[in-house]
């Protein structure tokens, strides 16, 4: 079998480098985090901060953080869940007709899970090809229902925040996190130069049309009630791990469910997304 992935260790954490006929990609086992995906014939799709920690000391800034089993800050529990700062296990890696398929898992531990009433295990299946498919399965081994929320926190590389369109979200209701205002709605596209921080009620697909990079990034998703749209704008100056002016080169469009989802006793649940890129005519 043609081996199209290699596992290396850098600064105490493990990276899986992927090269197949359809794409180049990288996954970090710290966070179960996709740090690179570049389909053949296209520029890199994911933005990475040049000043991100990449040694396990903090969550990675850029790529696709998996925020689970909760979204945002929760008192005494920290931000964006547990697994973006935990080491995941590589369960399987294989080549399937020009695709590379990885299976990862992370077990947050019975004690924590019981105390905090979350599912205990999250598994990811990642399929790297001309599309990127990320499927997560969460497992509740307990004899009682538990809850979780999540975000697949995509940092998309863009040409300019001034030359973007995210058409599917215009007209959809959203919560503005910056002004703490529910039930907002735009009739025209917003200014994507941040600070912008919104949770849209929208379970359909969304896309970023980028007239500078001359491409459209399209995301379909399942098991996801929300899109989170985030760019810190001037607030990036207070975020140590965003390199100078780095915020001008990304837009976060996150497939998420920001409110609790119940997982029945002794059962599992799935959610996920598929990302595709097309050149503009």
Footprint on this chain of ligand G6P (rule: CB under 6 A): 59, 79-80, 177, 197, 228, 230, 252, 254
Instruction: Provide, rounded to whole angstroms, the least separation between the CB of residue 197 and ligand G6P.
Output: 5
Instruction: Provide, rounded to whole angstroms, the least separation between the CB of residue 28 and ligand G6P.
Output: 15
Residue among 49 and 140 whose Cβ is closer to ligand G6P: 49
176: part of which helix (H) or strand (E)?
strand 174-176
Taking Cα atoms as reference points, which of 34, 6, 258, 61 lies closest to residue 124? 34
The residue number with the shortest CB distance to ligand G6P is: 230
Known catalytic residues are 153, 254
Instruction: Provide, rounded to whole angstroms, the least separation between the CB of residue 91 and ligand G6P.
Output: 26
Angle at 193 between CA 188 and CA 199, to 5 degrees: 65
Backbone phi, then psi, for 83, in 5-degree steps? Answer: -80, -10
Report the relative pairing of strands 206-210 and 215-222 from DSSP bridges. antiparallel
**Using CA atoms in the order 217, 221, 226, 231, what is the torsion angle rounded to 10 degrees?**
-30
Residue among 77 and 79 whose Cβ is closer to ligand G6P: 79
Residue among 255 and 261 whose Cβ is closer to ligand G6P: 255
Residue among 33 and 215 whose Cβ is closer to ligand G6P: 33
CB 253 within 8 A of CB 263: no
CB 254 within 8 A of CB 152: yes
Instruction: Provide, rounded to whole angstroms, the least separation between the CB of residue 191 and ligand G6P.
Output: 17
């Amino acid at each position: 079998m043609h081996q199209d992935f290699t596992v290396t260790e850098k600064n105490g954490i493990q990276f899986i480098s992927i090269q197949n006929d359809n794409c180049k990609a990288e996954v970090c086992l710290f966070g179960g985090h996709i740090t690179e995906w570049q389909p053949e014939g296209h520029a890199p799709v994911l933005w990475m901060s040049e000043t991100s920690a990449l040694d396990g000391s903090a969550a990675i800034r850029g790529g696709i953080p998996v925020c689970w089993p909760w979204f945002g800050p929760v008192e005494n529990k920290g931000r964006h869940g547990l697994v973006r700062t935990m080491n995941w296990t590589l369960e399987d890696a294989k080549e399937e007709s020009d695709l590379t398929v990885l299976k990862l898992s992370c077990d947050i531990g019975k004690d924590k899970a019981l105390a905090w009433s979350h599912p205990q295990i999250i598994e990811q299946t990642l399929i790297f090809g001309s599309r990127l498919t990320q499927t997560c399965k969460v497992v509740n081994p307990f004899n009682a229902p538990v809850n979780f929320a999540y975000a697949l926190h995509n940092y998309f590389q863009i040409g300019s925040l001034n030359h973007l369109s995210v058409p599917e979200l215009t007209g959809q209701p959203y919560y503005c996190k910056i002004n703490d205002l529910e039930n907002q709605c735009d009739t025209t596209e917003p200014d994507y130069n941040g600070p912008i921080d919104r949770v849209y009620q929208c379970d359909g697909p969304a896309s970023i049309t980028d007239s500078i990079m001359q491409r459209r990034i399209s995301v379909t998703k399942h098991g996801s009630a929300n899109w989170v749209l985030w760019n810190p704008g001037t607030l990036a100056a207070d975020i140590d791990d965003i390199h100078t002016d780095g915020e001008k080169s990304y837009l976060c469009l996150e497939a998420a469910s920001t409110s609790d989802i119940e997982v029945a006793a002794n059962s599992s649940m799935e959610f996920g997304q598929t990302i595709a890129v097309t050149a503009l005519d």
